Structure 1
Amino acid sequence: MKIKLLEPLGVDEKIIDELSSGLIARGHEFVYYNEKTTDIDELKKRVEDADVLMIANNPLPNEVIKSAEHLKMLSVAFIGIDHVGQEECKKKNIIISNAAGYCDATVAELVIGLTINVLRNMNAGDAATRNGRTIAGLIGNEVSGKTVGIVGTGRIGRKTAELFKAFNCKLLGYDALASEDAKNIGIEYVSIEELLKESDIVSLHLPLTGETRGFLNADKISLMKKTAILINAARGPIVDNSALAAALNENKIAGAGLDVFDMEPPIPEDYPLLHAKNTVLTPHVAYASEESIYRRAKITFDNVYGWLEGKPTNVMKY
């Protein structure tokens, strides 16, 4: 079979060589493109003879998948697959596997970091120290003992809840499907309305789907406490970010820590959240640590090995 990796995975090429050596030893042809492209014609050329494709977060739209006449399996080095042309994958019965679990701890740790940064004014404190100022105006709030609303109780949501539990936080949860594992952590499931009204910290962990796009709209944001903060390290478009910026600027909520937006960075200068009050912004780095990037690459290749052996892993329902 012809197996192609369409973009770099953020690891050294020596690691790609190691991970692909077993494929080559079994007689498969492995092709690695070490430069990303979003050019549709170039992507069509790359995929046209592939039986298996591996990608990260580079868009692979329906028209590209349509041109991949031999494609049977797609291994995505990411959690979400909203950047993949799922309509064509369904038509062609293509198996899609994701890299589930590679960044659970990495994302959860950044959520905690963003939370502490927002509550303790760390960015403002850094600026004050460098500019000869004092503690004035920088008295913040503890995480300890707060009520935390986990919106989406999948793997990352549960890992985040575990870390907040170490701060002696009360855990509320909302999800379309309740998880026994979440309940065992101590998450109490409530309606989204109750969660937003009661939480001091709201942390989003939903995938981006047709149902979740714009999920946290102006009406829902209006339910939050004026003292509450919002953390989003999931997907930007699950929030009405214009409404969020307005709520921040009008002091309807106390702050926000955001790693995701309506587009991938670089963010346009006129984007409202760049100018919103009491925000800490990071450029979609929650998933990225040296440890997680290696895990991601290994899982992506392991998915292919499993599929070739008739034991597919991390298969997505779409």
Structure 2
Amino acid sequence: MKIVMIEPINISTEKREEYKKKFAEKGHELITYSERAASDAEMIERAEDSEIMIIANQPLSANVINSCPELKMISVAFTGYDHIDMEACRENDILVSNSSGYANQAVAELVFGLTIDLMRNLKACDKATRESKTRAGLIGSELAGKNFGIIGFGSIGQKTAKIAKAFGCNLLVDNHKEHAIGKELGVEYLDIDEVMARSDIISLHVPLKESTEGLIDGQKIDLMKEDAILINTARGPVVDSEALAAALNNDKIAGAGIDVFEMEPPIPEDHPLLNAKNTVLAPHVAFATEEAFLKRAEIVFANIENWLDGQPQNVVS
């Protein structure tokens, strides 16, 4: 079968060649590209006669899917798949597998990078030090003893909870079915409004779907404490950026650490969070570590191998 990696997935040339050889030995052809396609037309040119496609987080439209009549399987080098037209996949009987789990550790760790940066004023500390100033006005807060709210208690939410517990936080989780890990960590399950109102730190870990788009709107943000911070490493559209920026600029909340936006970076110059006060912004980097990329590649190609063997895994369609 013809397998096309339609965009790079951040593995070395040596690793790509290793996978090419492995599939060639089984009678399959793996074609890879080192840069993203610039348009749907270029994506179609690359993949129109492929039977298996590998894609990361580049949007995959119905136009491209419908133009690939031989396509039978898509292995997504990403946890989320809201960038893929799943209806077109269903209509064309295309199986889609994702790479859930590859970046759990990476994302959870960045949550605390953003949190500590905000709580200990690291950006301002760096600036003050370089300008020969002192710590005046830069006294921060500790994580220990704080209420750490988690919205979305899947794999990444649970990993985040473990780290928060190690810091000595009290764990508040929005209404979820109870998990064994929740009992082990002493999680308190509350409705989302209570989590928003009682938390000192709120970390978002929900997928993007109809029910979560705009979930954290102005009303939810208004529930937050004035000294609370919001961390979003989930999906940009889960948060109303205009409402969040207004709350930050009016000192309604203390800060926000944002890794995801309504679009993939670079974000436009007029994005409301770019000039909002007390923010730490990152260009969708939470998942991006060397270790995570290696895990991701292993899952991506295992998905394909298992599908070829008639035992598909990580199926999302």
TM-score by length of 1: 0.96
The equivalent residue for 1:219 is 219
Q: Secondary structure of 1:287's partner?
A: coil
The equivalent residue for 1:77 is 77
The equivalent residue for 1:149 is 149
The equivalent residue for 2:304 is 304
Q: Secondary structure of 1:148's partner?
A: strand
Spell out the pairing of 1:98-247 with structure 2 (5 A cutoff).
98-174=98-174, 177-247=177-247
- After TM superposition, which residue ranges in structure 1, 4 or more long, deviate above 6 angstroms? none
Which amino acid in 2 is paired with 1:281?
A: L
The equivalent residue for 1:249 is 249
Q: Distance in 1 between matches of 2:21 and 2:177?
A: 40
The equivalent residue for 1:313 is 313
The equivalent residue for 1:286 is 286
Which amino acid in 2 is paired with 1:23?
A: F
Q: Closer, same or farther in 2 for the Cα pair 1:75/1:238, shift >3 Å?
A: same
Q: Secondary structure of 1:143's partner?
A: coil
Q: Is the 8 A contact 1:38 1:59 kept in 2?
A: no
Which 5+ residue runs of structure 2 have no aligned equivalent?
none
CA shift, 1:161, in A, is 0.5
Q: Distance in 1 between matches of 2:96 and 2:208?
A: 16
Q: Is the 8 A contact 2:11 2:293 kept in 1?
A: yes
Q: Is the 8 A contact 1:19 1:298 kept in 2?
A: no
Q: Deviations over 1:229-254 (max 9, x none)?
A: 00011111100001000000111111
Q: Distance in 1 between matches of 2:303 and 2:281?
A: 33
Q: Distance in 2 between matches of 1:196 and 1:35?
A: 41
2:95 maps to 1:91: no
CA shift, 1:186, in A, is 2.7
The equivalent residue for 1:10 is 10
Q: Percent identity of the aligned residues?
A: 51
Q: Deviations over 1:123-149 (max 9, x none)?
A: 000000001111111011111111111
Report which stretch shifted further, 148-157 or 169-178. Answer: 169-178
Which amino acid in 2 is paired with 1:126?
A: D
Q: Is the 8 A contact 1:4 1:54 kept in 2?
A: yes
Q: Deviations over 1:204-241 (max 9, x none)?
A: 00111121111100001001111110001111110000
Q: C-alpha root-mean-square deviation of aligned residues, in Å? A: 1.3
Which amino acid in 1 is paired with 2:224?
A: M
Q: Deviations over 1:2-53 (max 9, x none)?
A: 1111111111111011123221111112211222113111111222111110
The equivalent residue for 1:275 is 275
CA shift, 1:73, in A, is 0.8
Q: Distance in 1 between matches of 2:17 and 2:110?
A: 31
Q: Secondary structure of 2:38's partner?
A: coil
CA shift, 1:309, in A, is 0.8
Q: Is the 8 A contact 1:203 1:231 kept in 2?
A: yes
Q: Deviations over 1:87-142 (max 9, x none)?
A: 10111221111111111000100001110110000000000000111111101111
Q: Is the 8 A contact 1:20 1:301 kept in 2?
A: no
Which amino acid in 2 is paired with 1:236?
A: G
Q: Distance in 1 between matches of 2:296 and 2:151?
A: 24
Q: Closer, same or farther in 2 for the Cα pair 1:86/1:176, shift >3 Å?
A: farther
Q: Distance in 2 between matches of 1:160 and 1:128?
A: 31
Q: Closer, same or farther in 2 for the Cα pair 1:17/1:169, shift >3 Å?
A: same
Q: Is the 8 A contact 2:145 2:168 kept in 1?
A: yes
Q: Is the 8 A contact 2:153 2:176 kept in 1?
A: no
Which amino acid in 2 is paired with 1:199?
A: S
Spell out the pairing of 1:32-71 with structure 2 (5 A cutoff).
32-71=32-71
Q: Distance in 2 between matches of 1:313 and 1:177?
A: 24
Report which stretch shifted further, 170-179 or 226-235. Answer: 170-179
Q: Secondary structure of 1:272's partner?
A: coil
Which 5+ residue runs of structure 1 have no aligned equivalent?
none
Q: Distance in 2 between matches of 1:279 and 1:114?
A: 9
